[in-house]
Amino acid sequence: MKVLVATQKPFAKAAVDGIRAIVEKAGYELVLLEKYETPEELYAAVADVDAMIVRSDKVTAQVVDAAKNLKVVVRAGAGFDNLDLAACTANNIVAMNTPGQNSNAVAELALGMMIYMARNTFKPGTGAELKGKKVGIQAYGNVGRLVAEKARALGMDVWAFDPFVPKEKMEAEGVVVPATLEDMYKNCNYISLHIPANDQTKKSINKALVGLMPKGGCVINTARKEVINEEELIALMTEREDLKYCTDIAPDASSTNLKNASSLRRRNRVPKPLRLTSTPVSPPLPKL
C-alpha cells in the first residue's frame, strides 16, 4: 500500500516525520511530492497510490482519473472545496478532512487582523480600541465560535449570523443574533467571515452587503477568497474611502482586479494580504 503526501506548500518537517512514522508502522510506504509546480507532476505521482494526503492542493477530476488505485483522500484542513467530491464519489474514493484542527490559529489571526486594522496597520499615530466595538461573525462554526470567545474577552459586543446553528444556542453563548444578515452588516464595526466557499456563498460578500456597514467598517476575511465579489468590493471602496478590508488570502493572481487592489493597497486601505502559515509578519513597532 502506498500513501502519497502531495503538498505544493509542504508540511513542517516534524509533521512529515510524524506521518511517516505512523504510515511505516502500519506497514505501508510513504511517498512525498512537495513543492510541485504543474498538475502533470501530481498526475504522475498519484498513478499507483492507494491513499493521498493533501493541504489546499486541488484534487480535480483529472487527478482522480489518473489515480487508478486511490481509495481515500484526506484534506489536512477545513472544508472540501479543493476536492472534486463528485469525481471521488463516482470512483468510490472516500474523501475526508480535519475540521477544527487549525481553528484556534485562524481565530487568533482574525483578532490579530482586527487589532492591526484598528491600530492603522501599526503605523505610528492614533488608533482605536476594539473594546466596546461591535463584531459580526458570519458563520458560527469551529472558527467563528472561537472568534466570538476571544472577541468577548476583549470587551467587544459580539453578533453572529449562521442559519444552521440554533439561535438559542448562540444566545446562550452571549451572542446577539440579528434577524437578518443585512442587520448584522448595518450594525457592526467589524465583520469577520467564517463561511465555507460553496454555491450559496461564492461572491456573496458584495457591494450591497458591505455597503451597509457604518462609517469606518472593516471586513476581515480568513475564510476563502471565492466568497468575495472582488470587482464590487473594489468599486465600493473607491466610493467609500472609509471602509477597510483585510485578508490572509491573496486575491486570485490572474484577476484583473489585482492591479486595482494593489493601488488601493498603496493607499493603505487594503493591506498586503497576510498568509497564515507562511512567513511571519513582523511590522515595525510604533514609536511610543
Ligand X SMILES: NC(=O)c1ccc[n+]([C@@H]2O[C@H](COP(=O)([O-])OP(=O)(O)OC[C@H]3O[C@@H](n4cnc5c(N)ncnc54)[C@H](O)[C@@H]3O)[C@@H](O)[C@H]2O)c1
Which chain residues interact with ligand X by CB under 6 A?
77-79, 99, 102-103, 106, 138-144, 161-165, 194-197, 200-201, 222-224, 248, 276
Exposed/middle/buried for residue 17 (C-beta within 10 Å: 0-12, 13-18, 19+):
exposed
Q: Taking CB positions, which residue lies at the least distance from ligand X?
A: 141
- Shorter beta-carbon distance to ligand X: residue 99 or 178: 99
Closest contact distance (angstroms) between CB of 47 and ligand X is: 29
Cβ closer to ligand X: 51 or 110?
110
Q: Which is nearer to ligand X, 82 or 120 (CB)?
A: 82
Task: State the Cα–Cα distance between residues 44 and 51, nearest whole angstrom.
Answer: 14
Cβ proximity to ligand X: between 197 and 219 the closer is 197
Considering the complex, what minimum distance in angstroms separates the CB of residue 154 from ligand X? 19
> Shortest approach of ligand X to residue 224 CB, angstroms?
5
210 and 183 in contact (C-beta within 8 Å)? Answer: no
Q: Could you give the CA distance from residue 178 to residue 57 in angstroms, rounded to a whole number?
A: 36
Residue with cell 440579528: 178
Residue whose cell numbers read 493541504: 55
Q: Is the dihedral of CA 224, 244, 130, 159 positive or negative?
A: negative
Distance CA 246, CA 77 (A): 22
**CA 23 – CA 34 distance, rounded (Å):** 17
Quote the least distance from Cβ 109 to ligand X, whole Å. Answer: 7
Nearer to ligand X among residue 232 and residue 248 (C-beta)? 248
Least distance in angstroms from the C-beta of 198 to ligand X: 7
